[in-house]
Amino acid sequence: MSEVLIEVAGLTKRFGILSALDNVSFELRAGEVLGLVGESGSGKSTVIRCLVGLAQQTSGRIAYRGIDLAAATAAERRQYRRDVQMIFQDPYSSLDPRMTVQQILEEPMLVVGGFSARQRQERILHLLHRLGLKEEHLSRYPKHFSGGQRQRIAIIRALTVEPKVLLCDEPVSALDVSVQAQVLNLLRDMQKELGLTILFVAHDLAVVKYLCSRVVVLHHGIVEEAGTVDEVYGAPKAAYTRELLDAVAEPDPQAERARRAARLKRLAAIR
Amino acid sequence: MTIDNAPFDRVSFVGVLSRRLFGRGGPVVDRLALVMVGILLVLAVVGPWLAPHDPYAVDPIASLEPPGAAYWLGTDDTGRDVLSRLLAGAPLTILSAVAVVVGSTIIGVFVASVATLAPRWLDDALMRCTEIFLSIPSLVLALGLTAVLRPSLTSIIIAMVMALWPATARITRNILRETMTSAYVEAAKIMGVSRLRLMLRHALPNSLDAIYVHASMELSGTIVMISGLAFLGVGAPPPSADWGSMIAQGQDFITTAWWISLFPGLAITVAALAFGLVGGAIRRINDPTSGRAQ
Ligand SMILES: Nc1ncnc2c1ncn2[C@@H]1O[C@H](COP(=O)(O)OP(=O)(O)OP(=O)(O)O)[C@@H](O)[C@H]1O
Ligand SMILES: [Mg+2]
């Protein structure tokens, strides 16, 4: 099996008396796409926020390539911040409205350092074209773009510094259904092309099935079940997973037709 | 929905204001207020040169002339032209109010930025400090400080800056706190952007509009307060024609020569109203629920 990039062990996070995460453990292996699913409030975002340092865990350990982040040197932490980038759920709020796309895309490289002005521009243009945006978009502000375009800008921003891991917190749930697939496909393509490792948070199990190889099911801050997509979807062990799967069970076309016919008859009766 | 070819393709204060002024569909009141503020600011600079008469020339023969062809807004008891004095007094009232607000905003925003970036204890200390200032009514504080300093226009300005910055600091700190929790600031934070850059590049620029709103509201209050202080005799020394002391000088003639007090009173009202309305206009432009946001 491939190298463990991020190891989460016994992660616990309390907000006052509320236990948002309780002893959560999982591994993120190099090159895989790991799904993290669970209903709203199950603690998915909290896991990600702990991973990127926006929240401080109450207890538990996060290690990157075997190095405990709590005990890491400044240089190791810098490396981690560069290697692990995040995509936010809402592309309407994750791009600074006062910055042009150029400034937004340049910022991570400026912070990481070591890119000449030419290298920065080359990387930006390369990714811009790869993700279907144009050079003339660079001088515009985020408000000029649609949700899908903005999320692509956010993905480019994350990719400029050549990360190894992308943490995606429901990256398409704020988008129109019509552009969700497009953004998901781009994420999958980029993952394949660049050999990225992705932690993909979602409450939509169909999306996870499409994208991920393994999945962790979270419920009230507790890991209910973890395994390959085939195992978990095919033979769910936990009752909660079965519930989740039933909730999104593909509609039976025949039952659906019968339901519609009944509704039409009711409507006709009213008239 | 990609590009709108708005003539002012900038996410800036000036762009937003110009769009509101020249673009279609802005409320008439906002437009009027903006025009008024523009006129007032121009008058505050060039007013004294537009005066048709010498604002300080005493002319007993022409005393207490009602408004008419020779003296558009009449003359006071010593025969000085009211219009000329209004124009001469515009810088005293408006520019000193602008100086006060610029001063208190710079100090307030600086303190707020430090408090936002500082560790908890320093933030608390700074905010306790502003609370002490805030517990004293600003008019009383300004009066007291002017009494301590030598009474002059400069000391009024200094006193009022001291009286006003704490409120600006508190409000700005809350605005900055709020901006700091937005997703784009968090995105920058996890990239490893330094706290200073976070403040200068993300939080402050995105808080500017709210700061402008506060400043323009404060400008409105300051004009009234400076005039009030001058009315009470605390301000620029006598022959000077600031609007507050002009009202005071006309007090004795209010029943016979109403124009001496009325016109400076109107000037103060219009100025205060215009700056206040502009603040409201900026707020409405930025409010996403106002329906004109893109
Ligand atoms: N800063 C906070 N303070 C207090 N409680 C919080 C905070 N952040 C999250 N919580 C709580 O922690 C729990 C987990 O929240 P989290 O945002 O991680 O859920 P989620 O799985 O991402 O849900 P969603 O699908 O709605 O995004 C929730 O009950 C939430 O109310
Ligand atoms: Mg969430």
CATH number at residue B246: 1.10.3720.10
The answer to whether A233 touches A35, Cβ cutoff 8 Å, is no
- Pairing relationship of beta strands A165-169 and A197-202 according to DSSP bridges: parallel
**Residue A5: strand, helix, or coil:** strand
Residue A262 clears pLDDT 90, i.e. is over it: no
Residues A132-182 pLDDT 10s: 999 999 999 999 999 999 999 999 999 999 999 999 999 998 898 889 999
Residue B14 has what pLDDT? 63
Output the CA–CA distances (angstroms, integers) from residue A137 to A7, A143, B5, in the order listed. 38, 12, 13
Residue A110 to chain B, least CA–CA distance (Å): 9
Residue B185 has what pLDDT? 95
Q: How confident is the model at residue B96 (pLDDT cuts 50, 70, 90)?
A: very high
Distance (Å) from CA A52 to ligand 2 centroid: 14
Does B1 fall in a domain? no
Task: Note whether B183 contacts A140, CB cutoff 8 Å.
Answer: no
Does B152 fall in a domain? yes
Q: Give residue ranges of B with CB < 8 Å to any A CB.
A: 1-4, 11, 182-194, 197, 201-202, 205-206, 294
Residues lying with their CB under 5 A of ligand 2, a single-atom ion: A 45
Give the one of A96, A144, A149 whose C-beta lies nearest to B202's C-beta.
A96
**Which residue's CA is the nearest one to ligand 1's atom 11?**
A20
Give the one of A81, A94, A143 whose C-beta lies nearest to B183's C-beta.
A94
What strands, in cross-sheet order, belong to the sheet with A18-29?
A: A18-29, A4-15, A59-64, A67-68
Partner B contacted by A78 (CB < 8 A) = yes
Which one-letter DSSP state was computed for residue B75? B
Pick among A50, A83, A96, A157 to test the B interface (most B CBs inside 10 A): A96
The answer to whether A13 touches A21, Cβ cutoff 8 Å, is yes
Mean pLDDT, rounded, for B287-293: 47
- Pairing relationship of beta strands A214-219 and A33-37 according to DSSP bridges: parallel
**Which residue's CA is the nearest one to ligand 1's atom 12?**
A20
Residue B255 has what pLDDT? 87
Residue B18 clears pLDDT 90, i.e. is over it: no
- Between B143 and B226, where is the model more confident? B226
Residue B77 has what pLDDT? 81
The answer to whether A200 touches A208, Cβ cutoff 8 Å, is yes
Mean pLDDT, rounded, for A236-240: 84
Q: What percent of chain B shows pLDDT beyond 90?
A: 38
Which one-letter DSSP state was computed for residue A95? S
Residue B19 has what pLDDT? 65
**Residue A114: strand, helix, or coil:** coil
Q: Detail the DSSP E strand segments found in chain A.
A: 4-15, 18-29, 33-37, 59-64, 67-68, 84-87, 165-169, 197-202, 214-219, 222-228
Model-level pTM? Answer: 0.82
Residue A31 has what pLDDT? 94
| Candidate from A11, A12, A22, A42 with most ligand 1 atoms within 8 A of CB, to mutate | A42
Q: How confident is the model at residue B6 (pLDDT cuts 50, 70, 90)?
A: very low
Residues A173-210 pLDDT 10s: 889 888 999 999 999 999 999 999 999 999 888 889 98
Does B17 fall in a domain? no
Q: What percent of chain A shows pLDDT beyond 70?
A: 92
Does B266 fall in a domain? yes
Mean pLDDT, rounded, for A42-55: 95
Does B224 fall in a domain? yes
Task: Note whether B193 contacts A140, CB cutoff 8 Å.
Answer: no
- Ranking A159-163, B19-23, B251-255, B274-278 by mean pLDDT, the lowest is B19-23
Residue B172 clears pLDDT 90, i.e. is over it: yes
Residue B161 clears pLDDT 70, i.e. is over it: yes
In whole angstroms, give the CA distance from residue A232 to residue A227: 6
Residue A51 clears pLDDT 60, i.e. is over it: yes
What single-letter amino acid sits at B145? Answer: L
Task: Note whether A107 contacts B191, CB cutoff 8 Å.
Answer: yes
Burial group, residue A157, by CB count within 10 angstroms (0-12, 13-18, 19+): buried
- Could you write out the DSSP letters of every residue in B12-29? SHHHHHHHHHHSSS--HH
Residue A18 has what pLDDT? 93
Residue B287 has what pLDDT? 60
Q: Name the one residue in this structure whose structure tokens are 């906002």.
A: B30
Residue B68 has what pLDDT? 82
Instruction: Name chain A contacts of B190, Cβ cutoff 8 Å.
Output: 52-54, 81, 86
Domain of B182 in residue numbering reads as: 39-48+76-290
Does B64 fall in a domain? no
Task: Note whether A81 contacts B294, CB cutoff 8 Å.
Answer: no
Does B128 fall in a domain? yes
The answer to whether A6 touches A67, Cβ cutoff 8 Å, is no
In whole angstroms, give the CA distance from residue B106 to residue B6: 32
CA dihedral B173, B176, B182, B187 (to 10 degrees): -120
- Between A175 and A264, where is the model more confident? A175
| Candidate from A13, A24, A46 with most ligand 1 atoms within 8 A of CB, to mutate | A46
**Hey, which residues does A8 pair with through a beta bridge?**
A26, A62
* Tally of domains within chain B: 1
Residue A85 has what pLDDT? 96
Residue B9 has what pLDDT? 41
Does B115 fall in a domain? yes
Residue B202 has what pLDDT? 94
- Ranking A192-196, A235-239, B266-270 by mean pLDDT, the lowest is A235-239
